[in-house]
Amino acid sequence: MADLTILQKKEWAKLLYTKENLTQAEIADRVGVTRITVNRWINAENWETLKVSISITNEEQLKNLYRQLAEIQNAILGREDGARYAMPAEAEVIRKLTISIKQLQAELGLSEITSVFGGLIQFLRTYEPARVKEIAPVLDAYVKSKLS
């Protein structure tokens, strides 16, 4: 597997920071950067606020995007025959909503994966702490493969 770019490492670190209860040192170790780098990313991009805002849940945001898309489609369908097409401004909003939905769904998939892996690691720490050092790199490699 190819090495991750700095941007991919940053995205992975952000995902771990916002979804897992890890220290900056643990994140740095898993992502392959220094703790200082993780700290700099957290402060520069205000990840703490992002972490709090995620409690609104991505699922809610996704539902809102679908509602907005349905509103536009219903407005178009409510027009008379021969005029049931999107106006240029509507088409642009539909395009942007569709892109946002696709991105959010991709985040949800990776978020769910890291959440399950985090729970598994917490479980293993309770019963077989030594195994965590063996299994965590394999789980991390899987997440890396999804980022590439």
According to DSSP H, which parts of the chain are helical? 6-19, 24-31, 35-44, 47-53, 58-77, 88-127, 129-147
d(CA 20, CA 22): 6
> Tell me, what's the pLDDT at 36?
97
> Tell me, what's the pLDDT at 1?
43
By the 8 A CB rule, do 121 and 30 touch? no
d(CA 68, CA 114): 29
> Tell me, what's the pLDDT at 20?
81
Per-domain boundaries in the chain: 1-56, 57-134
The Cα angle at residue 45 between residues 6 and 115, in degrees rounded to 5: 70
Report pTM: 0.46
Instruction: Quick: pLDDT tens for 26-52.
Output: 999 999 999 999 999 999 998 988 777
> Which residues, including other chains, have CB under 8 Å from residue 8's CB and lie 6 or more apart?
144, 147, 148
d(CA 148, CA 139): 15
d(CA 86, CA 83): 9
Q: Report residues of the chain scoring pLDDT below 50.
A: 1
